[in-house]
Structure 1
Amino acid sequence: MQQRAQDTRLAVIEGAARVFAEIGYGNASLADITKRAGVTKGALYFHFTSKRELALAVIDEQHALVQSAGSEIAGSDNTALEKIISLCRMFGQQLLDEPIVQGGIRLTFEASAFQADVSAPYQDWINTTHQLLAQAQTEGDVRADLDAAAFARYLIASFTGVQMVSEVLTARADVMARIEQMWEFMLPTLTSGARTQPQVP
């Protein structure tokens, strides 16, 4: 795909993400999206045949953005537990700063409206967290008797709930503070009986 076409496609995805984030899938129209993206309907239909296809593209792009930023954290020299906490902070910041992430996350909660399986991003995050928790157990920062797989799922569910309630109550104005609070509650459960007693970094 030529660079100009790639730029147009990304503009459409970002415009769609902004519209989906603001008014949801059901209320969004392709006319709203073309206006927000600053493209013609012809340009939109060159890349996407339907609103559903566009919604799926937003979710895919959101997942790619999160994975890209997450890979940098995972490749750092920090401990595994520090990486898990940093991943949560990173995702929280993206929810504040990245329209594609904002739109993609809202779409995952509205997926029944366009009959899509949106489990992959969540499963990837659960798997990554599981691996890091197991590593943190080896490093002595997380207690050895913790069920890492179960806690990974619980952590992602907790984070999802924290950001959803933050969105409802404060339009995510307090999401970073609530993420820190979540970790203040969770760390004692993770580290009780561990060889080391890490604090929230």
Structure 2
Amino acid sequence: MVQQQQRAIETKEQLLSAAAEVFGRQGYRATTLNDILGSTNLTQGALYFHFKSKVGIAEEILRRQHELSNALGASFLQSGDGGLVSIVRLSGALAAQILTEPIVRAGLRLGTESAEDLPGAAAPYRDWIEMAHELLRRADTEGDLRPGLNLEAAAELVISAFTGTQFVSAALSGSADLLERLERLWPVLLGGMAGDPGHPAVARASELVRAGASTGMDAGIPS
């Protein structure tokens, strides 16, 4: 019985790993169940034992991507670092997840391209906006933001800018230049938010993005 349960777990993980690679490469609508099976040595029976549909597989990938990104975001929310420094470092850590974890890459593509097909697609974005909002509230309390800044709008802008940067990088370089693009993004983005243009989050954006990426790489992200 224990061996059967272990085989079932391994089969499910194999299916999800294959699906993440295919969804990440082709997107949701262009992917069929045969495409997913074709990159494994499994049968249709094995697939349908674990998942009843393509939607079910995609929803599970979205759920796992959400868990991985939320856990990483929570570590920055719980740190004692300043709000602006934390938000820049968090972007680097999330970029590291994108670069190293197929589940995260696939989840981001599924959530962005196929929201109308997948009921759970919007939840990660709401949580990321709330994470950004919390870090901006911390920065505001610390006196690091421009007076009167609309924190809700700023949080939405941060997540929109990060998501857009990630997809531009994916389209133009296969994500190879994602960190470099984030290094260029933050001084411009924070230039309109920070009360002091010489704030460390602005002046040291490149260093902070790289430090965050190292944190993401060292987080033991499972493959």
Q: TM-score, normalised by structure 2?
A: 0.81
On the 8 A contact 1:17/1:100 being kept in 2, the answer is: yes
| Aligned-pair CA distance for 1:5 | 3.1
Farther-moved stretch of structure 1 (90-99 vs 121-130) = 90-99
On the 8 A contact 2:59/2:120 being kept in 1, the answer is: no
| Aligned-pair CA distance for 1:38 | 4.2
Partner of 2:134 in structure 1?
Answer: 131
| Aligned-pair CA distance for 1:138 | 0.7
1:20 aligns with 2:16: no
- One-letter amino acid of the counterpart of residue 153, structure 2: A
Partner of 2:150 in structure 1?
Answer: 147
| Aligned-pair CA distance for 1:43 | 2.1
Name the CA distance, whole Å, in 1 between partners of 2:16 and 2:196.
47
1:68 aligns with 2:68: no
1:86 aligns with 2:92: no
Farther-moved stretch of structure 1 (58-67 vs 184-193) = 184-193
Q: Deviations over 1:113-164 (max 9, x none)?
A: 6353511100100011111101111112223321111100011111111111
On the 8 A contact 1:14/1:58 being kept in 2, the answer is: no
SS in 2 for 1:26: coil
1:33 aligns with 2:36: yes
Alignment of 1:97-176 (within 5 A): 97-111=100-114, 114-176=117-179
Farther-moved stretch of structure 1 (75-84 vs 18-27) = 75-84
Residues matched between the structures, number: 200
Q: State the Cα RMSD in Å.
A: 2.1
Partner of 1:197 in structure 2?
Answer: 199
Structure 1: segments with no counterpart, 5+ residues: none
Q: TM-score, normalised by structure 1?
A: 0.89
Q: Deviations over 1:4-41 (max 9, x none)?
A: 43333232222111110111222222222124344332
